[in-house]
Amino acid sequence: MQRQVSLSPASLPLPLEGCGPLRPLHDSAAAPLRQQVFETVRSHGQISRIDVAKHLNVSPASVTTMVADLLAGGLLCEIPSPREPSGRGRPPVALAVRPEAGFVAGIKLSDLVHTGVVIDFAGRPVAECSLERPSLRTDVELLVNEADELFARLLAQSGMERSEISAIGLGIPGLVDHPRGVALWSPIIRGAEIPIADLMSRKMGVPVQVDNDANLLTLAELWYGAGRALPDFAVVTLEYGVGMGLVMNHRLYRGARSVGMELGHTKVQIDGALCRCGQRGCLEAYVSDYALVREASVALDMHRTASGSAQVILESLFDQAKAGNEAARTIFRRAGRFLAAGLANVINLFDPSLVILSGARMRYDYLYADEVLREVRELTLNTGRALPKIEINAWGDLVWARGAATLALDTVTRMRTGAEAAP
């Protein structure tokens, strides 16, 4: 099944049912406002025209025009307002996204388990599942097959056809050139410069966009999470590696040439610990899974074997620390200190109003114990103002996949509202 696909309005699914016909919207001058109106409705769930106008600080008349386009285009529908009726005149009506206006999938590939979701046009999950796999660096062909298997399961679960999915967002760890769809380097893929978006897209028969997984988690925070109300915030992720995402002025920032925010590989010690990237002294080499496992193998005789995965060792290390084992505690303590330095560096550089700590390793609360947060304060330049808020989000793997789906939904929305031309 080697199909050539591209992300165009023609490949969008026809409506199954609903309150309006589906057609692309082509008036490009109005597109930015139309997209803003649509996003306002989506982020509010239900909202009246007049409240959209207030929210965007534009005239009610221009909102009415945009809404007429979006209703005619089948992207929005009208529902009875949850607010009290006034008793006379027309009954109040609220706007909502027409959920069946389109569906997208999100897939996050990782070393131990792949996860996937299908979401509707309102951003609500329709299906979700995961696929366990051996923790190995593999050829991209194997990953493509695994992703396709996951996609098939998602389709089976949701009772949908491939042709009903408008786009797939794909998250992978490592260095990703998002505009080109190329994995420059990934800890889970053998080789370099892999045109992974294209390979996935041909296999799955649906347009695929790829990005660094931490960027996609950041997108999930921006759309659904703590960052929703904030123009600027930073996300630091701890898993097998250390990732970072940055939102500036309500938009994801990927670095000037699209491969930035590599906080995990900033140097926190000259000639320091060896990192899996081959260099020394990277932050990641002190705080990520493999750094903790390396330490555990030295002082606690825990070794990674075919049967004893990193995760098993980490759980045991965590249990021993909780039980009072000093060697185990000093391992987490050191990781916590370096994490504090990394977070302080993020604050010293970006001065964000919020830092979100995320990823599965947030289970290990040693990493953000009071003493670690105190150390962040001690390593952050004293501006006389309060430190930014630091929030812990120990969400599971599915939020990464949801972030990946958000990438796809964002692109499809821009195309459908006319704000972005089909490539």
Q: With left for phi above 0 and alpha for psi between -120 and 50, is residue 413 left, alpha or beta?
A: alpha
CB of 354 to its own copies, least distance (A): 9
As given in the structure block, the two tokens for residue 325 are 């084992």
Q: How many CA atoms lie within 13 A of 410 on its CB side?
A: 18
β partners of residue 208? 168
Identify which of residues 3 and 374 has a Cβ nearer to its own copies in the complex.
374
Q: Could you give the maximum distance between any two Cα atoms of the chain, in Å?
A: 77
CB of 349 to its own copies, least distance (A): 6
Tell me the Cα Rg of the chain.
Answer: 23
| Distance, CA of 306 to CA of 123 (rounded, Å) | 39
Identify which of residues 119 and 275 has a Cβ nearer to its own copies in the complex.
275
Mark 14-48 as b/e (b = at least 16 C-beta within 10 Å): eeeeeebebeebeeeebbebbbbbbbbbbebeebb
Identify which of residues 167 and 188 has a Cβ nearer to its own copies in the complex.
188
As given in the structure block, the two tokens for residue 232 are 């600027």
CA distances from 234 to 231, 242, 263, 364 (A): 11, 13, 11, 21
CB of 49 to its own copies, least distance (A): 24
β-strands 354-358, 389-393: how paired? parallel
CB of 230 to its own copies, least distance (A): 9
CA distances from 333 to 219, 234, 235, 314, 324 (A): 31, 23, 22, 14, 13
Identify which of residues 157 and 258 has a Cβ nearer to its own copies in the complex.
258
Identify which of residues 75 and 291 has a Cβ nearer to its own copies in the complex.
291
Question: Letter for the amino acid at 94?
Answer: A
Contact 337, 372 (CB under 8 A): yes
Identify which of residues 162 and 280 has a Cβ nearer to its own copies in the complex.
280
Q: What are phi and psi of 105, to 5 degrees?
A: -115, 155
Identify which of residues 341 and 415 has a Cβ nearer to its own copies in the complex.
341
| Residue among 224, 229, 114, 226 nearest 171 (CA) | 114
Sites of contact with its own copies (CB under 8 A): 175, 184-185, 192-193, 231-233, 248, 253, 255-263, 265-270, 277-279, 281, 337-338, 341, 344-345, 348-353, 378-379, 381-385, 388
Q: DSSP letter string over 171-216?
A: EESSEEETTTTEEEE-TTBSSSSB-HHHHHHHHHTS-EEEEEHHHH
CB of 337 to its own copies, least distance (A): 6
Identify which of residues 266 and 320 has a Cβ nearer to its own copies in the complex.
266
| Distance, CA of 18 to CA of 110 (rounded, Å) | 37
CB of 375 to its own copies, least distance (A): 9
Identify which of residues 147 and 287 has a Cβ nearer to its own copies in the complex.
287
CB of 306 to its own copies, least distance (A): 29
CB of 127 to its own copies, least distance (A): 35
CB of 259 to its own copies, least distance (A): 5
β partners of residue 245? 235
Identify which of residues 193 and 326 has a Cβ nearer to its own copies in the complex.
193
CB of 103 to its own copies, least distance (A): 33
| Distance, CA of 289 to CA of 277 (rounded, Å) | 14
